[in-house]
Amino acid sequence: MTTIANRYEFVYLFDVTNGNPNGDPDAGNLPRLDPETNHGLVTDVCLKRKIRNYVSLEKESEAGHAIYMQEKALLNDQHKKAYEAEGIEPSAKLPKDPQGTQLTQWMCKQFYDIRAFGAVMSTGVNCGQVRGPVQLGFASSIEPVVPMEVSITRMAVTNEKDAEKQKEQRTMGRKHILPYGLYRAHGFISAKLAERTGFSEDDLELLWRSLTSMFEHDRSAARGEMAARKLIVFKHDHPMGNAPAHVLFDAIKVQRAAKDADLPARGFANYEVSIDAARVPSGVTVVERF
């Protein structure tokens, strides 16, 4: 597989309808908010988790596409696999090169998320650490969002003691939703860091497919309806890049459609997305993936 030879940045738009895109455990699972602006937030970790989940579904049991950071995984057991494959006794200290490099490279070859996002693999059984070429920032809603707390009832009970209570009252609960929110996230892909992990053109295409389809396989009552709305990619001719990322991001404008400016947003159709081609420097190609 050919390692990517171009630098990329991308703007990713997704939305939520009547759901909670990323609950905050420190705030009773309320949707995450910027306290100064009331704009909604979705963490980079949340988005990476959905990418990992999509890859594990599409590439299930396929060599080179295992997921390193997964639920209930014992990371040191993952590291031991590298030592076994290279015929080295597991150690808390990374062996000197070339053995140390071989262990790190083995982990990169086996695990998609290490090739993409990097990993710190020095937790007891040491496989070194590597910085990944793919990075994501927090997603922020285009406009302030209004969280709602909705009361729900449960007809069933968990034990006999509660059965008598239910005759008089039902079990009550709460769930938090946003009626609607459109979110914007920025992503960065370094060709030079890809050389260190072996992140390939095939891996890149898999990343684009993940961003396009990951919400289709992540449905739950808590998250409501979530959808990927637009993916705009900036491709640099030079591996080191042809322009600063912030200049490219400034060329993308997402704003309310004039006809709906005075109404609460309740769908993607309430917004307009525009690309100012004059602000995109030479050497950078703009590709709308969807």
Q: Within 13 Å and on the Cβ side, how many CA atoms surround 48?
A: 23
**What rounded mean pLDDT belongs to the chain?**
92
CB–CB of 94/69 below 8 Å? Answer: no
Confidence of residue 151 (pLDDT cuts 50, 70, 90): confident
| pLDDT-above-90 percentage for the chain | 81
DSSP 3-state of 288: strand
CB–CB of 10/234 below 8 Å? Answer: yes
Range 70-94 burial, b when 16+ CB lie within 10 A, else e: eeeeebeebbebbbeeeeeeebeeb
214 DSSP β-pair partners? none
At 261 the pLDDT is 82
Q: Phi/psi of residue 140, each to 5°? A: -130, 140
The residue that leads in pLDDT, 176 or 184, is 184
Arithmetic mean of pLDDT, 213-242: 95
59-108 pLDDT, tens digit each: 988 999 999 998 888 999 999 999 999 999 999 999 999 999 999 999 99
Residue 201 has pLDDT above 80, yes or no: yes
pTM of the model: 0.92
46-58 pLDDT, tens digit each: 999 999 999 999 9
User: Are β-strands 171-189 and 225-236 bridged in parallel, bridged antiparallel, or unpaired?
Assistant: unpaired
CB–CB of 58/50 below 8 Å? Answer: no
15 DSSP β-pair partners? 182, 227
CA geometry: angle 125, 127, 129, nearest 5 deg: 125
